[in-house]
Amino acid sequence: MNRENLSGAVVLITGGTGSFGSTMVKELLKSDISEIRILSRDETKQDFMRNSIKDTRLNFFLGDVRDKGTLQSAIRQSDYIFHAAALKQVPSGEFFPLETVKTNVLGSENVLSLAIEYGVKTVVCLSTDKAVYPINAMGMSKAMMEKVAFAKAREAGTSETKIAVTRYGNVMMSRGSVIPLFVNQIRRNEAITVTNKNMTRFLMSLSDSVDLVKHAFANADSGDLFVQKAPACTVETLIAALEIIENKHGQVEIKEIGIRHGEKMHESLLGAEERMRSQSEDNFFRVPLDTRRLDYQIYFQEGQKTLAQEPFTSENAKQLSVDEVVKLVSNQPEYQNL
């Protein structure tokens, strides 16, 4: 991972049995890493990962980020942390918002506090596009998680712990992806249930999400936020591409069922205010930590002078054509294994 040498390192992945964690583990095992610690509360997924990968460098911790006590043994003597543990389902978050807060906000504070206490070198926190102008509990909790991370970065100051945040959109073929649902409906000759075919969504692969975290890991200053310049498409375009891939072009019925709890028509990866402060780095945006002091008296006469910019959304991002989505989806290893 470029700047940081993983040789002999101990890396902890919270929520490590999820889609991101499983992909990152395979990437890390290519290096001369000493140990990969997987913290999650799902013993079944841990057992599956243990038996499918079978590498002695994997070490599993059964626990929950909500419980600071269970975190201590996993974080103690870790060099780096990828914090992916979260409650991510938007509809369930609308009905159980406090449960979402306990994991996504308070659990993240536990991880960051212990990381600073035990001298972890780098923590990369994974966030979501839903944290930008949030309208649902999951997005609000992730926005608060980011604020906690930025506050901890300021608090850590010149300590040895570097904290970075990555924010990404919908990951194709992950647990929350709609693609497996659509593919299964097509294969069963059922109507595809669509909330609104004019919705736009970012399209990222699991490898893209890992690349984003690797970029942040290698390049971040503490408190930095990183976003990938991901492409997007409408749900209608996605369905047309899946019909072609499944050899059912023009044969699929589409049933619009209406927007679900907490859904947006278009997602945002950067708000307008963040875009004004962002720096472009090849395929990524970097938003540095706002280091202004809490004493606002000094800003009464003169504030920051920046030019207004549009937010970076799935509506104004590069829009993929049907053929481009066909190529993108069909080349995903997870799709080929579906």
Cβ neighbours around 280 below 10 Å, total: 9
Whether residue 130 lies in the annotated active site: yes
Q: Is 91 exposed, middle or buried (0-12, 13-18, 19+ CB in 10 A)?
A: middle
Given 88, 130, 142, 264, the catalytic residue: 130
Q: Write the CB contacts of 95 (distance below 8 Å, at least 6 apart in sequence).
A: 261
- Burial level of 104, CB count in 10 A (0-12/13-18/19+)? buried
Active site members? 130
